[in-house]
Amino acid sequence: MLQISFIPEKEIHRILSAQLSEDVTLRIISAICRVNAFSAVKLAGSGHLGSSFSAMDLFTYLYFHELNVRTVGVEHPDRDIFFSSKGHDCPGQYSVLVAAGIIPYSKLLKLRRFGGLDGHPDVKIPGMEINSGSLGMGISKAKGMAIAKKLSGSSGKIIVMTGDGELQEGQIWESLQTTAHQKVSNIIVLVDRNRIQTDKRVSEIIEIDSLERKFEAFGWHAQTCDGHDFSAIRKAFETAHAVADRPKAIIAETIKGCGISFMEGERALRDSGGLYRWHAGAPDDDSYENGFTELLNTLNSMLKENGIVPVTCAVEKTQEKNRQQLKNVAEKVVAAYGDALVELGAERSDIVVLDADLSADCGVRGFEKAYPCRFIENGIAEQDMVSTAGGLALHGYLPVVNSFGVFLSSRANEQIYANASENTKIIYACHYAGLIPAGPGKSHQSLRDISLFGALPNCIIAEPCNAVETRELVRWCVNKADSTCMIRLVISPSPRTIDLPENYVFEYGKGTVLADGADAAVIAYGPVMLNEALTAQELLAKQGINIKVINMPWLNRIDTDWLVSALGAVRQVFVMDNHFSYGGLGDLILKTVALTPELRSVTVTKCAVDTYPACGTPAEALAHHHLDGKSIASKVLNVVTPV
Amino acid sequence: MLQISFIPEKEIHRILSAQLSEDVTLRIISAICRVNAFSAVKLAGSGHLGSSFSAMDLFTYLYFHELNVRTVGVEHPDRDIFFSSKGHDCPGQYSVLVAAGIIPYSKLLKLRRFGGLDGHPDVKIPGMEINSGSLGMGISKAKGMAIAKKLSGSSGKIIVMTGDGELQEGQIWESLQTTAHQKVSNIIVLVDRNRIQTDKRVSEIIEIDSLERKFEAFGWHAQTCDGHDFSAIRKAFETAHAVADRPKAIIAETIKGCGISFMEGERALRDSGGLYRWHAGAPDDDSYENGFTELLNTLNSMLKENGIVPVTCAVEKTQEKNRQQLKNVAEKVVAAYGDALVELGAERSDIVVLDADLSADCGVRGFEKAYPCRFIENGIAEQDMVSTAGGLALHGYLPVVNSFGVFLSSRANEQIYANASENTKIIYACHYAGLIPAGPGKSHQSLRDISLFGALPNCIIAEPCNAVETRELVRWCVNKADSTCMIRLVISPSPRTIDLPENYVFEYGKGTVLADGADAAVIAYGPVMLNEALTAQELLAKQGINIKVINMPWLNRIDTDWLVSALGAVRQVFVMDNHFSYGGLGDLILKTVALTPELRSVTVTKCAVDTYPACGTPAEALAHHHLDGKSIASKVLNVVTPV
């Protein structure tokens, strides 16, 4: 059996009450927090360990030496401000905030759970100063805060951590330029320079070196220090504080995954053939046990050296080891997408695939390996990626542009518009579409992408429901579509494979009836919502209510005749959107109903996300937004009475 | 009387056929093109002269020395590529393309007219390689083209011009970083370093100096030259061509407005108390005559020196001098907006106004002068501006963020989402909303902004119809709204002031009946569309058809009871959107109709923009999109028969 264990609050208090030199104390706190962050991510089932660990000594130094928040509190107007712009390192920051008594210990056990600690920073969590998770915004936000402090006469310094891969984002350079010009000198940027981004070296993705030189050319004071040496960190901050006339950067050289030997940068890269495995995701059971043992041994050795009794851990969860994971067996539309691209890449030499440092997550590693000359790794620079695609398209190529939907559709929105206005054809793949997985939180859940592409007059938007439909859709977009296409794809493994009927035909503007019934219809798209729709259908069937379930992959074009025929005599229609209520399929059906005389007697009920998406497990998030099968069944029961 | 004159094609041919040294030829061509660009802008009534003139010698050098397009043509795969990323300098580029025989001369007389030359570059125009007008995308697009040339084995160099203010955009730095890393060395960036952006010095807005140092730190070769000295330009290009291992930058030091003494950088700044008047807009009649005379004298002196007969100009238009301009007498909602902010600034010390180098156009110069400490000029860095506003809002301030809607809503979309997800309150003012003025073209016409804000679950969107409603709305957003607001404002002077009834009350979610009638209803918002709606009403009244005209300023919230009551017995409803069809008021009304039993018998006809917006005069664009009063009247006549 696998045990997931934490260092409990009273043990932390015991150790912190020991009289030790500051550096020893900081090292011990850091070691404690590594244990707790590691277990929190294992318990959550996901989270970012690599940069939590590279930044851990910095977090510890900040909260236990540099910042005044443990004294004045995290609400005080004169407090020192610290936040991480990259944000995905929050398991590390949370564990330090727990050790500092700012976040309640009990919350740490609810990382990425509903009502717990969000997968990326959120201001509702004590000590978290901004919402983050989308990169590049931190220095700008810090500047706003620094100006606010100046206007209000509040004291307190402002420190913002960035990643190094994050420096590929253009907004960083905007903010460096404006901050220096506006003479906002009360900011220290702390770069967690761990030299590895999602799963490759920064120098392989997009090199960002000459950092001191760049900061200085942008009018900043810059210096470099060892980000795991507390006296070096202290000295760097002292130097920075002595500079009053400019904003300051400290480049902290760190080791990604620092603290667990097999997760540490260079070794981890060697072990996995140049790919870094520990950026995101929980460790498997064996790695958890090995890593936990190593972290605990490190801590207990330090305690022993300093005459302190070793820690007693608290087991929070015991579970069967090496259970089969859904992700290892279930169908994944993203894999089908990647396979289709590889096939099409052989058929058409004009396809060029672009990626923004999410090659594996976006399923394009296969294409990357098969056609390296037609694969462009563009780093975390979505705007540049999209305009690069625009240039390729103007010169006869068919670019397929990949990123998470939440980033691609919004960060590069104006670039997408400019490209589309040139009437070239580009395929945008918005990955991680929709509510699920809900663990990473609202910076990652893409629920606006349909609306962000919707007003392009020449863009087709669709989401496939399973692997078969994914291949059909990708082939159709490449070979048949006469304009730009946006494909949205869920990233999670399918809870069930959506079975298509034997007579299934993939046709533009038309959907497929998956289950027949006369009492009501549920129209949905994609594996996540169709699974819930079919669950509702099964629940209702037990009560003698038979509903039609319709898969409608086309999200901004609808064949009205098909809809009239597909609905038949059904007048109660529920439309599920894996998207905000505005601008999704529900709106499309509502508009079609209002404009189609034959459908005038249809009553449409929209089922969509109406508030910022919940963070939690899939079941928690779906239930919270009333988009789980049970909620849908109950909505149907409100209007259809069982016989 | 004022005469607008051009140097006609046959005169250009005559001069070009003279046997002269290259530098003299280039100087003469440049002088010819300055005359024609100046007159084209005067004839068009708008356009960007300042940077057309700073870049003119560069354009001339490129097309008459550097590029092979005059030989191989502008469609050849091996052609050299040149385009301007800033794009608003296209009157200058067009005039050179006309002199080079690439754009037909007749088109120059149709600058900013329907079927003529767009106000910003468009690929449908011969020789224009990209659509531009929104800043910062050019280097990325050039990179895509360079990669395409490499993949296809086509030859030809790639040169892209940027502005200097444009270097404030983050995408520039993304693209510099990726281009160097990806070893795309077949690109020369040519910076038109005229040191003045919209109407102030770059050094006053956001300084971007140490340019060579910055380019070099980003892995580029960089050098500086005099952008008005042809031999210096030639030498710089020769040096750049000799560098094979890196992308190259040439910083061309230029003079904004070069060629007309009173438009030239330093003098023009002195003449107008530090503001530069000639960035955009046509010269007034006296300035036109004086400028034309100076340009012509310069040209004729050169011709004389070289033994060539002076040019004979062709008068293209004669018009009364110093006619009264609509812009000088009509109501402007943007002025009312600015006044309201100044008033509110006195009442509330928490208001901070942010601007992205469009202070005058956005009506916030008054606030800037009244409360300089609470005004943040952020330069052309919209993402940074929006996140800075986020930081201010988190610390208790009420930021009012300004830019053109097309830039603000799209370039900074993800930043707006991140801010809104923090549940702070920010007011976003999307200026230049909608189709009009249509001269600048699709990069400037904001027709997606409602859809881009629409899926934020906590954002109120509204557009006021006149000065009175603007003041009401701004006060309401500042003092009453409990969440983020987006205010869209047209930039043009109102063709008529929309009269509000005596019983007018400004109420959330409710509109106002402006004209009563029982045959049909037209629902619209904002001065542009309401003017057309009222025009339709007047036209129809002459035929005995009485339509209701309803002003509905709220674009994503509607009080259903109010709508039911406002429509009364009317069943034919036309909704006009100064926006793309998707996601605007038409969709909101359609959805409301579909969800409201009392409205089920209402037939809704959406009148909106369905294709990329036309470039032209207001009348041309409105008619093209069937959004002028006459088209609306005719749509009503399709369903309502005159008695």
pLDDT tens-digit readout, B531-547: 999 999 999 999 999 99
* Helix, strand, coil in percent for chain B, rounding step 5: 45, 15, 40
> CB atoms < 10 A from the CB of B141, how many?
33
End-to-end CA distance of chain A: 49
- State whether A413 and B418 contact (CB < 8 Å): no
CB–CB contact B136 A383 (8 Å): yes
CB contact under 8 A, A395 and B208: no
Chain B interface includes A393 (CB < 8 A): yes
Cα B123 to chain centroid, rounded: 17
Strand bridging mode B314-319 / B2-6: antiparallel
Distance of CA A633 to the CA centre of its chain: 30
Place of tokens 């971007």: B208
Residue B213 has pLDDT above 90, yes or no: yes
Instruction: List, by residue range, all CATH 3.40.50.920 domains of chain A.
Output: 512-639
Q: Which chain B residue is nearest to residue A604, measuring alpha carbons?
A: B595
d(CA A56, CA A63): 11
* Burial grade of A192 (CB within 10 A; 0-12, 13-18, 19 or more): buried
* pLDDT band (50, 70, 90) for residue B328: confident
**Does residue B352 belong to the interface with chain A, where contact is any CB pair within 8 Å?**
yes
pLDDT of residue B326: 75
Q: Which residues of B touch A162 (CB under 8 A)?
A: none
Q: Best mutation site among A83, A135, A181, A406 for testing chain B: the one with the most B CBs within 10 Å?
A: A181
More confident residue, B90 or A495: B90
Q: Is residue A326 within 8 angstroms of chain B, CB to CB?
A: no
Residues 56-85 of B with CB under 8 A from A: 77
**Which tokens is B525 given?**
């918002």
DSSP A120: S
Q: In whole angstroms, what is the distance from residue A208 CA to residue B176 CA?
A: 11
Question: Maximum Cα–Cα distance for chain B, whole Å?
Answer: 83
Q: Running DSSP on this structure, what letter comes out for residue B50?
A: H
Name the segment(s) of chain B with CATH classification 3.40.50.970.
Answer: 2-319, 329-488
Among B214, B455, B593, whose Cβ lies nearest the Cβ of A582? B455
Identify the three-state secondary structure at position B619: helix
> pLDDT tens, B46-64?
999 999 999 999 999 999 9
Per-residue pLDDT at B327: 76
Does B451 touch chain A if contact means CB atoms closer than 8 Å? yes
CATH code for the domain defined by A49-280: 3.40.50.970
Could B406 and A388 be called an inter-chain contact, meaning their C-beta atoms sit closer than 8 Å? no
- pLDDT above 80: residue B247: yes
Instruction: Pick the closest to residue B40 from B256, B323, B295, B320 (CA basis).
Output: B295
CATH of domain B2-319: 3.40.50.970
Q: List B residues 180-239 in contact with A (Cβ-Cβ < 8 A).
A: 180-182, 206-208, 210, 213-214, 217-219
Contacts of B562 (CB under 8 A, 6+ apart): B509, B510, B511
**pLDDT band at A643; cut points 50, 70, 90:** low
Q: Say whether the peptide bond before residue B437 is cis (omega within 30 degrees of 0).
A: yes
pLDDT at A642: 74
The token pair that represents A342 in the structure block:
């590889």
User: Looking at the DSSP assignment, which residues form a beta bridge with residue B486?
Assistant: B428, B461
Size of interface A-B (CB pairs under 8 A): 341
Tell me whether the omega of the peptide bond preceding residue A618 falls within 30 degrees of 0, making it cis: no
The values of phi and psi at residue B104, to 5°, are: -60, 140
Angle at A357 between CA A351 and CA A358, to 5 degrees: 80
Written out in words, the top-level CATH class of the domain with range A330-488 is alpha beta
- How many helical (H) and strand (E) elements, i.e. helices and strands, does chain A have? 27, 18
Structure tokens at B535: 């025009």
- Determine the distance in angstroms separating the CA of A359 from the nearest CA of chain B, rounded to an integer: 16
Other Cβ atoms closer than 10 A to A87: 30
In chain B, % of residues over pLDDT 70: 100
Q: What is the pLDDT of residues A325-367, one digit of tens each?
A: 777 778 999 999 999 999 999 999 999 999 999 999 999 999 9
pLDDT at A369 over 90: yes
CATH code reported for the domain at A512-639? 3.40.50.920
B612 touches chain A (CB under 8 A): yes
Asked if A8 and A105 touch (Cβ cutoff 8 Å), the reply is yes
- What sign results for the dihedral spanned by CA atoms B161, B163, B169, B173? positive
Q: In what order do the strands lie in the sheet with B459-462?
A: B375-377, B351-355, B398-404, B427-431, B484-488, B459-462
Q: Which residue of B has its CA nearest to A169?
A: B174
- A134 within 8 A of A407, measured Cβ to Cβ: yes
Question: Can you give the three-state secondary structure of B364-390, one letter per residue?
Answer: CHHHHHHCHHHEEECCCCHHHHHHHHH
Percent of chain A with pLDDT over 90: 98
What is the C-alpha end-to-end distance of chain B, expressed in Å? 49
Fold of B329-488: Rossmann fold (3.40.50)
Q: Do B414 and A442 touch (CB under 8 A)?
A: no
Burial environment of residue A395 by CB neighbours within 10 A (0 to 12, 13 to 18, 19 or more): buried
Distance in angstroms (rounded) separating the CA atoms of residues B257 and A309? 77
Question: Of A135-149, A326-340, B97-111, which gets the smallest average pLDDT?
Answer: A326-340
Among B137, B220, B382, the strongest candidate for a mutation testing the A interface, having the largest count of A CBs within 10 A, is B137
- The model's pLDDT over B476-523, given as tens digits with 9 standing for 90+, comes to 999 999 999 999 999 999 989 999 999 999 999 999 999 999 999 999
Pairing type for strands B459-462 and B221-226 reads unpaired
CB atoms within 10 A of CB A370: 15
Question: Which ipTM value was assigned to this complex?
Answer: 0.98
Going by C-alpha positions, the residue among B63, B57, B66, B17 that lies closest to residue B34 is B57
Whether A381 and chain B come into contact, CB under 8 Å, resolves to yes
pLDDT of residue B643 exceeding 70, the answer is no
Beta bridge partners of B112: none
Listed residue (B90, B4, B86) closest to B47, CA to CA:
B90
CA dihedral angle for residue A41, residue A45, residue A49, residue A52, rounded to 10 degrees:
-40
Contacts of B374 in chain A (CB under 8 A): 151
Select the residue from A380, A386, A421 to test the B interface by mutation, using most B Cβ atoms within 10 A: A421
Phi-psi region of B124 (alpha: psi -120 to 50; beta: other; left: phi over 0): alpha
Q: Give residue-wise pLDDT tens across range A292-327.
A: 999 999 999 999 999 999 999 999 999 999 887 777
Of B352, B399, B452, which is closest to A452 when you measure between CB atoms? Answer: B452
What confidence score (pLDDT) does residue A325 get? 79
Q: How far apart are CA A30 and CA A53, in angstroms?
A: 9
The SS3 call for residue A366 is helix
| A158-163 vs A187-193, strand pairing mode | parallel
* Among candidates A146, A581, A590 on the partner chain, residue whose Cβ is nearest the Cβ of B590: A590
- List, in order, residues 6 or more apart from B96 with CB less than 8 Å away: B29, B33, B56, B59, B60, B62, B63, B64
C-alpha B639, offset from chain centre? 37
Helix H or strand E encompassing A222: strand A221-226
**Edge to edge, what strands does the sheet with A603-609 contain?**
A512-515, A547-551, A520-524, A572-580, A603-609
Contacts of B159 in chain A (CB under 8 A): none
B598 touches chain A (CB under 8 A): no
What are the residue ranges of helices labelled H in A405-525? 405-411, 413-421, 449-454, 467-479
Q: Do B421 and A131 touch (CB under 8 A)?
A: yes
CB atoms within 10 A of CB B277: 18
User: Where do you find CATH 3.40.50.970 in chain A?
Assistant: 49-280, 330-488
Q: What is the pLDDT of residue A641?
A: 82
| B575 contact partners, CB below 8 Å, separation of at least 6 | B522, B523, B524, B585, B586, B589, B590, B604, B605, B606, B607, B608
Tell me the average pLDDT across A551-574. 98
pLDDT for the residue numbered B372: 98
Cα–Cα distance for residue pair B430/B414, rounded to 1 Å: 16
Per CB-CB distance under 8 Å, the chain A contacts of B146 are 391
**Residues paired with B520 in a beta bridge:** B547
Task: From chain B, pick out residues whose CB is under 8 angstroms from the CB of A182.
Answer: 206, 376
Q: What is the pLDDT of residues A7-50, one digit of tens each?
A: 999 999 999 999 999 999 999 999 999 999 999 999 999 999 99
Interface check for A148 against chain B (CB to CB < 8 A): the answer is: yes
Q: Is A307 helix (H, G, I), strand (E, B) or coil?
A: coil
Please answer yes or no on whether A147 and B610 come within 8 Å at the CB atom. no
Phi–psi pair at A484, nearest 5 degrees: -60, 145
**Cα–Cα dist A488/B464, whole Å:** 36
A421 close to B418: Cβ distance less than 8 angstroms:
no
What is the Cα–Cα distance from B101 to B104, expressed in whole angstroms?
7
